[in-house]
C-alpha cells in the first residue's frame, strides 16, 4: 500500500511549505485538497497558476489534486495544464464522465472518482468499466482532522469485489490503525494530512509510523 502525504491549506505559503516537506518523503506523491465553499462548507487554497510554480520547483514530485468543487468539468483542464498528474473528482458533482476521462488522456494524466460518506458505493458501479481509479472519502468533504468513518471499510470491500483491478484510495481520518484496516479491506493507497503534518513535530517519523502499520 502507498502512503500519500496530503495538504489542506488556506494559503499558497502553507501549501508551499508542506510541499517542501512532502518532497522529503519517499512517496513521490503529494495530495492537495481544493474546496470551493459550494460542494463544501469551507474554502481552501485553489490556484492552478501557483501549482504550476510548485511543479517547476519539484519536477519529480507527482501532484494529486482533490477537487471538492461544484463544477469539476469547468476547471479540470487548468489543473492538468498546471502539472497535476492525477485529478480527483466527486461522483456527486460530475455531469460528463466521458469528458473527464478524455481530458485526462489528453494531458497524459489520471482521473479518480470519489464518493463522500453519505453516497452509496453501488452508485459507482456504472463507472467501474471506464474509470481505473476510485477514492473512498472516509470523512465529510472539506476539513482535515475528522474521524474516520468505519462504514467506509464496507465500501472499500464492495469496490474491491466489483472492480478487482481498480486502484482504490482512502482519504480522511488516516491513522496507523485505520490505514491497516483500509489495506485489509482492499485499498491500494491512503492519503493522510493531519497525522503526518498535524501536531507531530517530526513529520518523517509520522510517515514511517503509517508505513510501518501496513507493512
Domain coverage including residue 22: 2-213
Number of compact structural domains in the chain: 1
d(CA 150, CA 81): 36
Which whole number is the average pLDDT over 57-77? 97
d(CA 114, CA 69): 12
Residue from 120, 123, 142 nearest 38 by CA? 142
Mean pLDDT of 63-80: 97
- Over range 66-73, report the average pLDDT: 96
What CATH number does residue 62 fall under? Answer: 3.20.20.70
Res 187: pLDDT:
98
Is residue 196 scored above 70 in pLDDT? Answer: yes
Q: Would the pLDDT of 200 be above 70?
A: no
Q: Sign of the CA dihedral 196, 202, 204, 209?
A: negative
Question: Annotated catalytic sites, by residue?
Answer: 33, 171
What per-residue confidence (pLDDT) applies to 164?
Answer: 97
Cα gap 146→138, rounded to integer Å: 9
pLDDT at residue number 117:
94
pLDDT band at 205 (very low <50, low <70, confident <90, very high): very high
Using a pLDDT cut of 70, give the percent of the chain over it.
98
CA pair distance 136, 172, nearest whole angstrom: 9
Q: Per-residue confidence at 73, pLDDT binned at 50, 70, 90?
A: very high
pLDDT class of 41 with cuts at 50, 70, 90: confident
Summarize the confidence of residues 53-71 as an average pLDDT. 97
pLDDT digits (tens, 9 = 90+) for 149-177: 889 999 999 999 999 999 999 999 999 99
Average pLDDT over residues 44-63: 98
Measured CA to CA, the distance from residue 156 to residue 170 in angstroms comes to 8
Res 140 pLDDT > 90: no
Q: How many residues does the chain have?
A: 215
* CA gap 170, 24 in Å, rounded: 22
DSSP letter string over 146-160?
PPP-TTHHHHHHHHH
Instruction: Judge whether residue 142 has pLDDT over 90.
Output: no
Amino acid at each position: 500500500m502507498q502512503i500519500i502525504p496530503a495538504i489542506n491549506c488556506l494559503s499558497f505559503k502553507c501549501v508551499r511549505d508542506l510541499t517542501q516537506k512532502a518532497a522529503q518523503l519517499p512517496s513521490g506523491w503529494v495530495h492537495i485538497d481544493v474546496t470551493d465553499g459550494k460542494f463544501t462548507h469551507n474554502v481552501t487554497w485553489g490556484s492552478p497558476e501557483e501549482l504550476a510554480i510548485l511543479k517547476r520547483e519539484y519536477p519529480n514530485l507527482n501532484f494529486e489534486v482533490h477537487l471538492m468543487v461544484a463544477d469539476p468539468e469547468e476547471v479540470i483542464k487548468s489543473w492538468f495544464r498546471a502539472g497535476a498528474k492525477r485529478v480527483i473528482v466527486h461522483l456527486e458533482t460530475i455531469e460528463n464522465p466521458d469528458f473527464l476521462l478524455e481530458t485526462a488522456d489528453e494531458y497524459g494524466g489520471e482521473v479518480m472518482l470519489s464518493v463522500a460518506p453519505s453516497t452509496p458505493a453501488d452508485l459507482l458501479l456504472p463507472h467501474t468499466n471506464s474509470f481505473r481509479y476510485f477514492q473512498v472519502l472516509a470523512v465529510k468533504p472539506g476539513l482535515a482532522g475528522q474521524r474516520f468513518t468505519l462504514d467506509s471499510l464496507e465500501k472499500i470491500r464492495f469496490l474491491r469485489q466489483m472492480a478487482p483491478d481498480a486502484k482504490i484510495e482512502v482519504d480522511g481520518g488516516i491513522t496507523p490503525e485505520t490505514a491497516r484496516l483500509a489495506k485489509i479491506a482492499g485499498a491500494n493507497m491512503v492519503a493522510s494530512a493531519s497525522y503526518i503534518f498535524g501536531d507531530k513535530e517530526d513529520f518523517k517519523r509520522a510517515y514511517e509510523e503509517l508505513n510501518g502499520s501496513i507493512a
